[in-house]
Chains A and B, each alone.
Chain A
Amino acid sequence: MSKLALNLKSLQKAGEKSDHKFEIRDYLRLDLFPHFLCPGCGHGIALRALLWAIHDLDIELDQLAVVSGIGCSGRLSAYIDANTFHTTHGRPIAFATGLKLARPDLHVVVITGDGDCLAIGGNHLIHAARRNLDITCIMLNNEVYGMTGGQVSPTTSLDRYTTTTPLGNQEPGFDACALAKGAGATFVGREVTLQTTALKNLMQEGLSHDGFSFIEVISDCTEIYGRKNELGSSPEMVLSQKRSILPKFDGTAVDKPFRAGNWDTGVLVREDRPEYYKAYRKHCHKVLGTAAVKK
């Protein structure tokens, strides 16, 4: 075949690929559906955004590994038809670290909750951020331990009611993005589930970043946190996210915040720093000699 014909062929193939529309069913384990999340739970919207980003990046499902901990958020990995690991509470980042070092060719994504990632798993987060290993950590922040019935979490807003703060929470919550940034994460971003397309774009950027990327998704626990705090119906809760966004460009709140916190959204940190796996290999070559390092 002539070179031109070959080129045409590859062009055609690229065209087919880009025309291929995102059908979420192509990415799901359909036998597990409908999923177990409560009506209106924001985690479902976040899962769509993630799969959509993976689709748009043309990541093959067998090149993708999704690692999650325990929680309603942790359950999401089970629904994705890729290599998935539903690990123990608080440890998905630790599992993902081992996995990425052993299989650097895979795209490794962590799905975790605010309790999973910041309470029991807080140390794993800061050290992963410090190392800058190329994994994408997606933390679904619903300000509560949803799975276990609504206990206070490290991100619960002030004065909010949970089963363990029946008089209203008096501990200030973590700003997870600031924490990740402080610990050295080279990509940090935040988005709300209401802005599904923006969330998808942010995830796409995080997945493409070479280094540790941390994405906080503001998600709604409609059935437990929403009810306990009288935050309204599912559509009211998701719509109210709009009022809590603090747009980055001028730094002023859109409206009176509905929740206690204001959030910056979008890409908050993007830095260039040596990626851990690559830096480690380089070092091995240097101290052990190229011949001694396995391919």
Chain B
Amino acid sequence: MTDQTSLFEYLLRLGDNTLVLGHRVSEWCGHAPVLEEDIALANTALDLIGQTQMWLGLAGEVEGAGRSADDLAMLRDVWDFRNLLLVEQPNGDFGQTLMRQCLFDAWHLELLPDLTRASDDRIAAIAAKALKEVTYHLDRSSETVIGLGDGTEESHRRMQAALDLLWPYVGEMFTPDTVDDAMHAAGIAPDLTALRARFDTRIDAILAEATLTKPDSSFAQSGGKTGFRHSEHLGHMLTQMQWLQRAYPGATW
């Protein structure tokens, strides 16, 4: 694999993570339990979609085939997506959505500082921009996980169930493959073992305060970031997200 190919793949991973999670979170718009949460979810989704424009914009530039961020987001099929399986999982209840967010944010907030020191200035600039927003995201998602985990018997039960459901999707973030190795060698991406250690420290503290028990099993689902095997949920999500451009190709505002 040439370096440019690995770089393109890596940028798709970054952009597809924020795109798919941003779309998932936006599904709450108008449905959240209270107005403040509705606004917070919409703002989080907006940040993630903004970050997507930068990551996928750069991916298109690196690919050099004339594809824009919009082309990449709206005109690729499910097997061409490179997001983590975690972010394509359905929203479930509010607690499950915030658990997914917290697991993602804890990883994101450890990854981005490393990317701000990337050997590629374009990546460093996007990471520095995103980092400020993601700091707010983890503040909120961790506070909510703690509040609901250490809340009522019912909210605790739901948060533990959400953690048990989503934990098998955490390992994929830290399982290196040829793209991760090439990006680490190029001075762009961090070593995933070191990243995992920092993630564990952060998430363990949050879960302890939330009185939640981290599952024992280290079994990790895989196939999202390589595109080898997405869960069935992503295709269904894309039928919604891409519908307009598929039905009316080239439609603009």
Do A and B assemble together? no
Residues of A within 8 A of B (CB): none
Residues of B within 8 A of A (CB): none
